[in-house]
Amino acid sequence: MADESFARRAAKQRDAAILRSLLTCFNDHGCFETTLDQVAADVGIGKGTLYRHYTSREDLFEAALQAGIEALIVRCHGTWEAHVPAFDEAFRALIGELVSLNHQGDPLSPATLARLGCGCHWLSPSHREERKLVDAFAPLVRGWQVVGLFERTMDPSWIAAVMLALVNSLAVTRHGSKEVVEPSVTRAGPRRPAHESDIVSRIVDVLRRAFTPAAQFIPQS
């Protein structure tokens, strides 16, 4: 029994390492350049061992997407819970976390996972992996609606989709970008590169204007 338990734990650890490797390889190389050989070499196993865990490249991509989304959602819950009951502050911190992950080019960033979802859909058009990220954020959005941050009658999936579109926009996802957003424009001089705090403020402001009940919305000065 002890040997079985050890073998089971070892298999789970190896499986987690395979999924982490896939996310990293995909983040670095994209859908078409990521191969099972790269993943196997990164984990330090043979390709045959990899196939004992996943029967195809498509299965591995889908499993990595699911694992990545679950890890990101856990991270978002942690950020939110660290700031409640200051709900506005908690929401701003969560958006800041997503923006920061995208700026860093993290394998668990929403931009990487959105791209991976598109890759999974391309590999298996009958599946709905491109919707998984939005669907995973919908329960979080429902929580925001319950505490009054957003209009309760709105479809939470729609709010999640708009939020992710803003977070994954070009100005946020270009690593080291010189993109400029309006809060960085001054009358006294030329435009300067957008900072994360500028981008977070703009995203939060857009979401509040679009989805917060009118009686509760207070424009930022």
Model confidence over 145-162: pLDDT tens digits?
Answer: 999 999 999 999 999 999
Confidence of residue 196 (pLDDT cuts 50, 70, 90): confident
- Give the C-alpha separation, 51 to 36, whole Å: 9
Domain match, 48 and 87 both: no
Domain match, 136 and 49 both: no
- Give the C-alpha separation, 178 to 188, whole Å: 19
Q: Using H for helix, E for strand and C for coil, what is the string for 132-147?
A: HHHHHHHHHHHHHHHC
Cα dihedral 67, 65, 41, 104 in deg (nearest 10): -90
Confidence of residue 178 (pLDDT cuts 50, 70, 90): very low
- Give the C-alpha separation, 204 to 196, whole Å: 12
| Cis geometry, peptide bond prior to residue 213 (ω within 30 degrees of 0) | no
Domain match, 97 and 168 both: yes
Ramachandran category for residue 44: left, alpha or beta (phi over 0 → left; psi -120 to 50 → alpha): left
Establish if 60 belongs to a structural domain.
no
* pLDDT for the residue numbered 51: 85
CB 210 within 8 A of CB 162: yes
Domain match, 47 and 111 both: no
Cβ within 8 Å of residue 92, ≥6 positions away: 200, 204
pLDDT averaged over every residue in the chain: 83
Establish if 112 belongs to a structural domain.
yes
Instruction: Evaluate if pTM is beyond 0.85.
Output: no
Domain match, 187 and 96 both: yes
* pLDDT for the residue numbered 106: 93
Is pLDDT larger for residue 173 or for residue 156?
A: 156
Domain match, 121 and 191 both: yes
Question: What number of CA atoms fall less than 13 Å from residue 132's CA on the CB side?
Answer: 25
What CATH number does residue 29 fall under?
1.10.10.60
Taking only the tens place, the pLDDT of each residue in 102-134 is: 989 899 999 999 999 988 888 776 665 557 899
* pLDDT for the residue numbered 73: 97
Establish if 221 belongs to a structural domain.
no
Q: Which two tokens stand for residue 6?
A: 């050890």
**What letter does residue 185 receive in the DSSP assignment?**
-
| Angle at the Cα of 183 from the Cα atoms of 203 and 105, rounded to 5 degrees | 55
* pLDDT for the residue numbered 131: 78
* pLDDT for the residue numbered 197: 87
* pLDDT for the residue numbered 99: 94
Establish if 220 belongs to a structural domain.
no
Cβ within 8 Å of residue 104, ≥6 positions away: 175
* pLDDT for the residue numbered 47: 86
- Give the C-alpha separation, 37 to 94, whole Å: 36
* % of the chain with per-residue pLDDT over 70: 80
* pLDDT for the residue numbered 174: 54
For 201, the domain range is 67-211
**What letter does residue 152 receive in the DSSP assignment?**
T
Domain match, 199 and 162 both: yes
Asked if residue 195 has pLDDT above 90, the reply is: no
- Give the C-alpha separation, 119 to 39, whole Å: 16
Establish if 86 belongs to a structural domain.
yes
Domain match, 87 and 177 both: yes
Domain match, 10 and 78 both: no
Question: Domain count of the chain?
Answer: 2
